[in-house]
């Protein structure tokens, strides 16, 4: 089984002031660990960056936060909508790489993470959310997301790819 790891909107524009978003460091540790595990086992890592309403003056804000490791082999996708599949090449990239399981992590659980999760399911991919790998400015949203969606922990990912 080929896995695609989608890291959604882990960007300066949303997370530069990390005081408003709890657990950023912890989530980054989980995301980086899983990304490296998947890279080593020849799976796909995709960084999704929201560019809605941006211009040339905001390019630094659109960059992935320094706490997230971006490898040169990783794929970057830009999007203008909450669902990373909507009006992007993401679906075709996943299909071309033989991806059947999509793991989703990032910001914000109640918006782009959830919309992308639903978009993956609508397109026939098995979809799960990385436990401890999603963020929100509203802590209760994290628990609701885990309660209502399929979730996967890093030890399970280790056993799948190991």
Specify the pLDDT at position 60.
79
Q: How confident is the model over 57-66, as pLDDT tens digits?
A: 567 788 999 9
Can you tell me the mean pLDDT for 1-21? 89
Count how many domains the chain has. 1
Q: How confident is the model over 74-118, as pLDDT tens digits?
A: 999 999 999 999 999 999 999 999 999 999 999 999 999 999 999
Whether the predicted model's global pTM rises above the 0.85 cut? yes
Tell me the two tokens of residue 79: 């999007």
Which domain range does residue 13 map to? 2-161
Q: How confident is the model over 16-28, as pLDDT tens digits?
A: 777 678 899 999 9
* Beta strand spans in the chain (E): 2-8, 44-50, 75-79, 99-107, 126-135, 151-152
- What's the start-to-end Cα distance of the chain, in Å? 12
Q: Residues, the chain, total?
A: 162
> Rounded mean pLDDT of the chain?
94
> Where residue 83 sits, what CATH number does that domain have?
3.40.50.850
Q: Count CB atoms within 10 A of the CB of residue 82.
A: 20
Tell me the two tokens of residue 96: 């071309």
> Are 47 and 77 in contact, with CB atoms under 8 Å apart?
yes
Q: How confident is the model over 104-156, as pLDDT tens digits?
A: 999 999 999 999 999 999 999 999 999 999 999 987 999 999 999 999 999 99
Q: Report d(CA 66, CA 51) in Å as an integer.
A: 18
Q: Report d(CA 86, CA 50) in Å as an integer.
A: 12
> Are 105 and 64 in contact, with CB atoms under 8 Å apart?
no
């Amino acid at each position: 089984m080929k896995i695609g790891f989608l890291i959604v909107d882990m960007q300066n524009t949303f997370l530069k002031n990390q005081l408003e978003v709890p657990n950023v460091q912890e989530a980054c540790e989980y995301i980086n660990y899983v990304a490296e595990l998947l890279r080593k086992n020849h799976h796909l890592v995709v960084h999704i960056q929201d560019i809605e309403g941006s211009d040339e003056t905001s390019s630094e804000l659109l960059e992935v936060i320094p706490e997230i490791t971006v490898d040169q082999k990783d794929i970057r996708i830009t999007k203008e909508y909450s669902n990373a599949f909507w009006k992007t090449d993401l679906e075709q990239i996943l299909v071309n790489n033989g991806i059947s399981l999509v793991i989703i992590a990032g910001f914000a659980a109640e918006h782009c993470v959830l919309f992308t999760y639903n978009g993956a399911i609508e397109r026939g991919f098995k979809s799960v959310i990385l436990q401890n790998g999603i963020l929100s400015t509203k802590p209760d949203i994290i628990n609701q997301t885990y309660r209502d969606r399929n979730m996967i922990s890093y030890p399970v990912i280790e056993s799948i790819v190991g």
